[in-house]
Structure 1
Amino acid sequence: MRDASSSTAVSVPRAAPSRAPHADAALIELASGDTRLTVAPHIGGSIASYYDVSTAGPLHWFRPATQSALNAGDPLQMGSFPLFPYCNRIRDARFEFEGRTVDLAGDGNRFPHALHGHAWRRAWRVGTRTPSALELHFEHVPDVRRRGDWPFRYDAQQRIELIGGALHLTLSAHNRSDRPMPFGMGHHPYYPRTPNTQVHAQVQAMWHADRDVLPTHLGPHPAVDALRHGMSADAFDLDNNFAGWAHEAIVTWTDERRRLTLTAEAPFDHLVVFAPANEDLLCVEPVTNTTDSFNAGETPEHAGGQVLMPGEAITARIVWTPQRF
């Protein structure tokens, strides 16, 4: 995801576990025991930080947003941000659907290939709120005057909740159009990356990609076996989708004797691992569709994604569970 997630490499300083969270009046803090979560509804409905309070300072499970990132309102430098109504790239920002060309170029996305949908670049509305839970709402109504606007009307929601130390995130969407809508969703977490960070995940194959990080073919790769046994974040130069994911991935900081287990419900059937060489970035990302899935052609069953019929809704949950050992 060469954009600090994808497209162009952006170097982000490593998030040290002792870094203090930043004060920002627009942030909403959730708490459960010693665990804290800060949410930035105005910055793409993003999670700014997820950490445990300790006598040594905050122990971060996601890479925390810096004050400069908050000041800039940059979702790509948050702890995690939502992906609606598709995940990752669409080649040349266009695809064919039901005999029509959907052209997304010019919608404000600064990347040459449409990236991560649009909900991450817009403010979300705050809904029901408790000390440990929060609902965020997003509504998209197409604007025919806006070049490249997503031509389907839909609503999306995030329910963000701390239960003990675990982060429960329920994503949902509802097609409000009078016609079918191609669709995908996910969340894009960044994790602290140290020389001793490992990633475990049961996957079956990797999507190989071209220089634009667009998929070329699905096949074997040494990273597949490495992930099954515990792959060092420094082992490969990765920005790839993995198929046949068993819906669980574990990020372990072996030197710090702690781990974070990610589990996801179907249709989060695909996993993205972004671990670029010579950078401190690490993403292990649950998604419902692979990169450029809308242009998958003859193999849509391998690329994921859904078509939501008029009035149809979809809901699925992602959970991150921390543990020290």
Structure 2
Amino acid sequence: MRDASLNPRRPLATQPMTHLAAQLSWLDDPVIAARLVTLTAGALRVVIAPDVGGALAAFYEATSAGPLHWLRPAVPQAFEARDPLRMASFPLFPYCNRIRDARFEFDGATIDLAGNDARFAHALHGNAWRHPWRVDALDESAAELSFEHRPDPRVRGDWPFRYRARQRIELSGGALRITLSAQNLADRPMPFGMGHHPYYPRTAQTRVYADVQAMWHADAEVLPTHFGAHPAVDALRAGMSPDAFDLDNNFANWAREATIAWPDEHRSLTMTADAPFDHMVVFAPANDPQLCVEPVTNTTDCFNAVGMREQVGGCVLQPGEEIEAALTWTPHRE
């Protein structure tokens, strides 16, 4: 149901999950562990899987009772399949979410992305998440990763612009901070967007707080139809249960701050974002344990969407132009 209608029933799959129910068994697998990078700062830990799309495998706090997860940890199968969709969070370059029919018009030409992933009818999340990233620098609490895309005309649906993406992932001041940046390495302008795709633990008591102005309503294929009011806007301001609506929708002109709270566990996680992360996606499907609150620079299908620039987002990077902005997740415990 993509019009995000009310869902008064609690999803059957959304059963309470304490931090003790999600242990990090894959850290005990030497083959998997050898592929990972772990950052530490006090009790905080972030585990990075560079070869799984530069994704985060976990962000947690080490406690005497076990790991207290601030993001939903990866499942073991995610490493074998190299599947970022089953990780804790992953970067989105050079656009976020779907592009209708995997094509759009730009600078007088049709950009055809069809064929880049047979699983999806519409191009999804760009291409950086489908490739390994390189670790360029590393210390105890910070890592710098990069990915450079060189278009290959032999690959159907390949992104036709050369670019370099970077992530600086660090634990500092009791928080996780990720600085995303990109540079257009092509000799022509490139349409662009970026973001991160975090999954959070979802329980019956979880609440999401955010100050948003309006929502992009979507069709059955999760593509935007129109921008306007929705009860979820007020619900988010008051503290929305992920079970209240069937959501996979973009919210524009948010305050660039959102809090995911677990009041029964006396804790919360506040996410803040720099401009131009002026858009936020909430993915809270009915009858499903997933919950995403994603900071992004563009709405779904931004290269085709019709609307005011502040409602659509995205930008055009000129040859050699760079863009950089940071995201921060700060845990709080009562």
Q: Which TM-score applies when normalising by structure 1? A: 0.95
Partner of 2:319: 310
SS in 1 for 2:235: helix
Mapped partners of 1:176, 1:16: distance in 2: 45
* 8 Å contact kept, 2:46–2:56: yes
1:122-271 aligned within 5 A: 122-271=131-280
1:13 CA displacement: 9.4
1:20 CA displacement: 2.0
The answer as to 2:86 corresponding to 1:83 is: no
1:15 CA displacement: 5.9
1:20 to 9, 18, 23: 23
Deviates more, 1:251-260 or 1:108-117: 108-117
SS in 1 for 2:227: strand
Mapped partners of 1:147, 1:281: distance in 2: 31
SS in 1 for 2:19: coil
Mapped partners of 2:198, 2:229: distance in 1: 25
The answer as to 2:71 corresponding to 1:69 is: no
* 8 Å contact kept, 1:35–1:164: no
Mapped partners of 1:252, 1:86: distance in 2: 28
**Count of equivalent residues:** 317
Distance 1:140-1:15 versus aligned 2 partners, 3 A rule: farther
2:227 alignment partner AA: L
Mapped partners of 2:140, 2:81: distance in 1: 27
1:110 CA displacement: 2.4
1:36 to 30, 33, 45: 45
Mapped partners of 1:15, 1:188: distance in 2: 21
The answer as to 2:278 corresponding to 1:275 is: no
Mapped partners of 1:40, 1:281: distance in 2: 20
* 8 Å contact kept, 1:95–1:102: yes
1:59 to 65, 68, 83: 68
Deviation sequence 1:291-315 (CA, Å, 0-9, x none): 0000024544420001000110000
* 8 Å contact kept, 1:14–1:192: no
Distance 1:38-1:293 versus aligned 2 partners, 3 A rule: same
1:145 CA displacement: 1.1
Mapped partners of 2:311, 2:287: distance in 1: 31
* 8 Å contact kept, 2:58–2:87: yes
* 8 Å contact kept, 1:33–1:164: no
Deviation sequence 1:128-149 (CA, Å, 0-9, x none): 1000000000000111111111
Deviation sequence 1:204-227 (CA, Å, 0-9, x none): 000000000000000100000000
Q: Which runs of 5+ in 2 are unaligned?
A: 3-12, 28-32
SS in 2 for 1:143: coil
SS in 2 for 1:293: coil
Distance 1:201-1:109 versus aligned 2 partners, 3 A rule: farther
Partner of 1:6: none
Partner of 1:7: none
Partner of 1:293: 302
SS in 1 for 2:78: helix
Distance 1:292-1:14 versus aligned 2 partners, 3 A rule: farther
Deviation sequence 1:229-266 (CA, Å, 0-9, x none): 11111111111000110000000001000000000000
* 8 Å contact kept, 2:184–2:190: yes
Mapped partners of 1:158, 1:14: distance in 2: 33
* 8 Å contact kept, 1:15–1:64: no
Identity over aligned pairs, percent: 65
2:19 alignment partner AA: P
* 8 Å contact kept, 1:62–1:79: yes
Q: Which runs of 5+ in 1 are unaligned?
A: 3-10
